[in-house]
Amino acid sequence: MILEDISTLLQKGKAKEVKILVQQALDEKITPTMILNEGLIKGMSIIGGKFKNNEVFVPEVLVAARAMNSGLEILRPALVASGAKSVGKAIICTVMGDLHDIGKNLVKMMLEGQGIEVIDLGVDVDADTIVEAVKTHHPDLVCLSALLTTTMMNQKVIIDALVKAGIRDQVVVMVGGAPVTQGFANEIGADAYTADAASASEAALAFLRN
């Protein structure tokens, strides 16, 4: 019941209430993993699905994600103490020449919603910065967003740079953004493409589980 409430309040973006209930759930000795999966992640997945179907919009997703983060703040120490392993790590950015960041931010939120740690490099990010970031942070995933037909080619430039640096095999490259298609993703040698943020987080999880 309390997990259900966490999920519902999270979907409404009620950060304070989510925080209180997560603490209460911990006090009731519900396992941290259970709170994460059945409360926070469940709520975030529902919001992601509703966004995909145009039932809710960008502000609703963002406040839900904020509520999730406030719940996670309380949960994190308990998760670490219980020995729960981080699901994985991702680097995300919008590629060089492109400032569109709304979709990128939603993907970030949805990945975080699945318990993935995300390092956000921002917008207008060039290949060298990505290569450096992969060497420094050792992520499992590199997520590249592009909204312009002119900048989607920069996703390829980045993949080529990863190959050249000899680190392409260390990461799964996911691409997305309105003009990007599965065909384009195949063409440039990306590992995955999805059309929306909810599917992006599902695809990311699938890769991490394998």
| Per-residue tokens: 37 | 């999966």
Applying CB under 6 A, does 200 fall inside the site for ligand B12? yes
Task: Identify what 189 binds: ligand B12, another protein, none; CB under 5 to 8 Å per kind.
Answer: none
Q: Say if strands 141-145 and 172-176 run parallel, antiparallel, or are unpaired.
A: parallel
Applying CB under 8 A, does 59 fall inside the site for another protein? yes
Q: Which residues pair with 89 in a beta bridge?
A: 117
Burial class (CB in 10 A: 0-12, 13-18, 19+), 168: middle
> Which of 82, 86, 136, 150: binder of another protein (CB under 8 A)?
150
> Which of 2, 26, 62, 119: binder of another protein (CB under 8 A)?
62
Compute the distance between CA of residue 23 and CA of residue 188 in angstroms, rounded to an integer: 46
Using the minimum distance from each CB to another protein, give the nearer residue, 102 or 163: 102
| Per-residue tokens: 131 | 């290569």
Binding segment toward ligand B12, per CB under 6 A, in 30-38, 65-73, 127-135, 147-155 = 147-155
> Which of 34, 102, 163, 206: binder of another protein (CB under 8 A)?
102
DSSP 104-149: HHHHHHHHHHTT-EEEE--SSB-HHHHHHHHHHH--SEEEEE--SH
Contact residues: another protein, CB under 8 A: 13, 54, 56-59, 62-63, 66, 97, 99, 101-102, 105, 124, 148, 150, 178-179, 181, 195
